[in-house]
Amino acid sequence: MSEVAPLVASTAQIFVSLIFLAAALHKLRDPQRFVASLRDYRVLPATGVPAAAAIVGITEAAIVVGVWLPTLRAMAGAAAAGLLVVYGAAIAINLARGRREIDCGCTWARDGQPISLALVLRNAVLVLPCAWLAIGPGPSSQSLAAAAVALAAGVVLFVSLRTFETLAAHAPALRRLAD
């Protein structure tokens, strides 16, 4: 276990930083679209949505940096887990309200992606590597081979996540084609 924990920590570090780098870049690319998406959730007062959107983007960027700094790693992991829980809760609230057609605001798909239970479950699973960074042992000095394995695993996890998101974003169109 002592040899596996640093590998898991390094993989989590890479994976979480890629997730939140992509999320922050997504918001920087089209901030007005993110504000509109956040407004559509109707969980914040409309006047506070632009400030909340800016705070979310800044927090995501800070997480990317924080997971790489040993003194901030646990805090960044906790912040990442917290954001994912908040995102999942906002989606679940709107699903409970019967509002399934709003854009999740979490994908790069041109047409957006409607919220779904799958996104709530995705966020719940993504909390796990964030929690490892928050409470688990951190990465330690590793051989070049172990570092390469962690890098490959982190990238494969990220590509798998992006594939899931792309398939989920296109699921409505695929259903229409099947009908």
The per-residue pLDDT for 147 is 84
Identify any residues that bridge with 114 across adjacent strands, giving them in sequence order.
103
- For residue 26, count other CB atoms closer than 10 A to its CB: 18
The per-residue pLDDT for 111 is 64
The per-residue pLDDT for 1 is 46
**Tens of pLDDT, residue by residue, the chain (179 residues):** 467 888 899 999 999 999 999 999 988 888 998 999 999 999 999 999 999 999 999 999 999 999 999 999 999 999 999 999 999 999 999 999 999 889 888 765 566 788 999 999 999 999 999 999 999 877 777 778 888 888 999 999 999 998 888 877 777 777 788 87
- pTM score: 0.88
Report how far residue 118's alpha carbon sits from residue 165's, in angstroms, rounded to the nearest whole number. 10
Closest CA to 134 of 61, 58, 83: 83
